[in-house]
Amino acid sequence: MITPNMHYRDLKESYLFAGIAQKVKKYQMEHPEKHIYRMGIGDVSLPLCDAVIAALHEGVADQANKETFHGYMPECGAQFLRETVAKHYAERGVILDADEVFVSSGASDELGDILDLFDRRSSALVIEPAYPAYVDANVIAGREIVHLASGKEDGFLPEPRENFKADILYICSPNNPTGAVFSRNQLQAWVDFANENGAIILFDAAYEAFIEDETLPHSIFELDGAETCAIEICSLSKTAGFTGTRLGYTVIPKALNRCGMNFNAMWVRNRTTKTNGVSYIIQKGGAAVFTPEGQAQIKANIQIYKNNAKVLMEALDQLGIWYTGGKNAPYIWLKCPNGMGSWEFFDYLLNEIQVVGTPGEGFGACGEGYFRFSTFGSPEDTKEAARRLCELLGGK
Ligand code: PLP
């Protein structure tokens, strides 16, 4: 009889988003007249920008004509998009060959698939609180996971320590859920650690477009020596509203080698085996993000989310509640007031002011006592949620 992958049994029940949805549904059924202020969602609310929509239409029109029709696309990405992304990196001083850029259907797909490059006996270090997929993808693969707790003391930006033994190092900066961003020096310490120990960093840059402090690195390849120890996984989901359209890119330097194996060449082989490329139309739309018009338009959308962040941060400042994030990330991570637990605070906000956030405990045990607000909601709802927070917590 076939043996299934028994590691699926080791996955913890993903209670976080299902638990939130269940509680909100119950509340709504009991209080149908109340509006819910959703500050918990990780999905964007603004539509694709005009430059992308125009390019998507062009892509559709191309597919209607024999002369411009595209069949299978190159497995590693259309040359025009690989070159466009490489040019975008060059504008920040990171020089890449176009064939170091791989087009993907998004960061989630890639974060799971990329593990094909590593031996199952390799271990994975996850800085927690963390995006839950890092842990789950490695549990499914049967890998040993080293959980590194971070906290208020280190600003949720822990340093590498001598005694860590891990082969794959997940770093997400700007971070989901904490919104914390590694400085150049802090990230350099991780790059040096990886090079010294032969480890590889999987750098999740899904939120790089939210960085406004220009001293902070957008890409790990801005750091010395990263090309020999890092893979960067990026996405247009939050940068340009592609959550439902699906497009991302991954950078694997040609200088990345271990045990006589080259990771760039391995990924070419992986993609040519496991995919038939990303839709031409979507890649055409994605390329428009990097045009001057596209950049101006996505920045205007990001600014709307940033204004939401400002509104929430002002409310927390006024209330004297400790938080991180918000300035260079679309998430605000706060300490639950009055010693409340994450789910206790969740219930309190839902029941008292109909504001929904995300309990920090869902991102790892060290997230207990913390709470995440997302800034992807509407400005109107965000303002009202902030007002209600001040009213509820200000009097205590
Ligand atoms: N990485 C992080 C840290 C995320 O928060 C998300 C989505 O919320 C992703 C990756 C997945 O992005 P994508 O929509 O490109 O799959």
Tens digit of each residue's pLDDT (9 = 90 or more) over 328-365: 999 999 999 999 999 999 999 999 999 999 999 999 99
Q: Cα separation of 383 and 396, whole Å?
A: 21
Does position 383 have pLDDT exceeding 80, yes or no? yes
Cα 185 from chain centre: 21
Cα 340 from chain centre: 27
Q: What is the mean pLDDT of residues 136-151?
A: 96
Whole-number pLDDT of residue 14: 76
Does position 396 have pLDDT exceeding 60, yes or no? no
Q: What is the mean pLDDT of residues 373-394?
A: 97
What does the pLDDT look like over 284-323, one tens digit per residue?
Answer: 999 999 999 999 999 999 999 999 999 999 999 999 999 9
CB 368 within 8 A of CB 344: no
User: Is there an atom of ligand 1 within 6 Å of 172 CB?
Assistant: yes
Measured from the CA of 175, which atom of ligand 1 is nearest? 3
Domains and CATH numbers, the chain: 6-48+294-393 (3.90.1150.10), 50-291 (3.40.640.10)
Residue nearest to atom 2 of ligand 1 (CA): 206
Whole-number pLDDT of residue 78: 98
Q: Cα separation of 229 and 253, whole Å?
A: 9
**Which DSSP symbol is given to 250?**
E
Measured from the CA of 104, which atom of ligand 1 is nearest? 15
User: Is there an atom of ligand 1 within 6 Å of 226 CB?
Assistant: no
Mean pLDDT of the chain: 96
What does the pLDDT look like over 162-200, one tens digit per residue?
Answer: 888 899 999 999 999 999 999 999 999 999 999 999 999
What does the pLDDT look like over 44-87, one tens digit per residue?
Answer: 999 999 999 999 999 999 999 999 999 999 999 999 999 999 99
Does position 12 have pLDDT exceeding 50, yes or no? yes
Q: Cα separation of 184 and 204, whole Å?
A: 15
Run of H or E including 292: helix 292-319
Strands (E) across 88-142 are located at 101-104, 124-128
Measured from the CA of 131, which atom of ligand 1 is nearest? 3
Does position 15 have pLDDT exceeding 80, yes or no? no
Measured from the CA of 236, which atom of ligand 1 is nearest? 15
User: Is there an atom of ligand 1 within 6 Å of 112 CB?
Assistant: no
**Which DSSP symbol is given to 48?**
P
Q: Provide the Cα torsion 358, 362, 368, 369; round to 10°.
A: 0
Cα 328 from chain centre: 13
Whole-number pLDDT of residue 395: 65
Question: In testing the pocket of ligand 1, which one of 238, 246, 333, 363 has its CB within 8 Å of the most ligand atoms?
Answer: 238
Does position 104 have pLDDT exceeding 80, yes or no? yes
Confidence category of residue 18, pLDDT binned at 50, 70, 90: confident
User: Is there an atom of ligand 1 within 6 Å of 204 CB?
Assistant: yes
- At 2 the three-state DSSP class reads coil
Confidence category of residue 13, pLDDT binned at 50, 70, 90: confident
What does the pLDDT look like over 195-224, one tens digit per residue?
Answer: 999 999 999 999 999 999 999 999 999 999
Confidence category of residue 143, pLDDT binned at 50, 70, 90: very high
107 alpha carbon to ligand 1 midpoint, in Å? 5
Measured from the CA of 108, which atom of ligand 1 is nearest? 16
User: Is there an atom of ligand 1 within 6 Å of 135 CB?
Assistant: no
Residue nearest to atom 8 of ligand 1 (CA): 42
Q: What is the mean pLDDT of residues 380-385?
A: 98
Whole-number pLDDT of residue 41: 81
